[in-house]
Amino acid sequence: MEEVKALQGDYIKKKKILTSYKTSGSELLNEIEKISDLAGRLSLDIKNLEIDPRNTFPAIGDTSEDELSLERYSLNFKLSGNFLEIGNFIDIIEESETKLRLQKCSFGLDSLDPKGVIAKLGYVTYGEAGQ
């Protein structure tokens, strides 16, 4: 019985954490503006910024009254510039009060800048289901 109670406690805790990541459309636009401002301050260029409006949240299984009413959306873009500044960018975003969560990150050399790199970043955010 203790194990079941512990599992239920973990479930409730993680559900509250996920629910706290909900963001509205206007909040997401504010986050994008903050990202753009930060990139500018760090002398980084943002390219190919796109929001994927499709819900990428995996199906939980059987529907129930306790199911989360969340949808997960992707925000993808490329950052080009100095490797250390891109790392600084990622750290600042992670340490901020943002509702964006880093999902993927990959680096490659910038063929137009011998001292630069291009980072492909993917963040996710959550919204209310059905909006």
Range name among 31-40, 50-59, 77-86, 121-130 with the lowest pLDDT average: 50-59
By C-alpha distance, which of 42, 41, 71 is closest to 55?
71
Please give the pLDDT value at position 98: 86
Q: Please compute the mean of the pLDDT values over residues 86-105 and round it to a whole number.
A: 93
Examine the pLDDT at 92 and tell me if it is beyond 80.
Answer: yes
Question: Could you tell me the pTM of the whole model?
Answer: 0.76
Q: In sequence order, what E strands does 53-116 have?
A: 70-81, 101-109
The sign of the CA dihedral 122, 127, 130, 131 is negative
Confidence class of residue 91 from pLDDT cuts 50, 70 and 90?
A: very high
Q: Please compute the mean of the pLDDT values over residues 62-79 and round it to a whole number.
A: 75
Please give the pLDDT value at position 28: 86
Rounded alpha-carbon distances, angstroms, from residue 67 to 50, 58, 61, 63:
29, 12, 9, 6
Q: What is the 3-state secondary structure (H, E, C) of 1-29?
A: CHHHHHHHHHHHHHHHHHHHCECCHHHHH
Confidence class of residue 127 from pLDDT cuts 50, 70 and 90?
A: confident
Confidence class of residue 7 from pLDDT cuts 50, 70 and 90?
A: confident
Please give the pLDDT value at position 123: 93
Contact 26, 94 (CB under 8 A): no
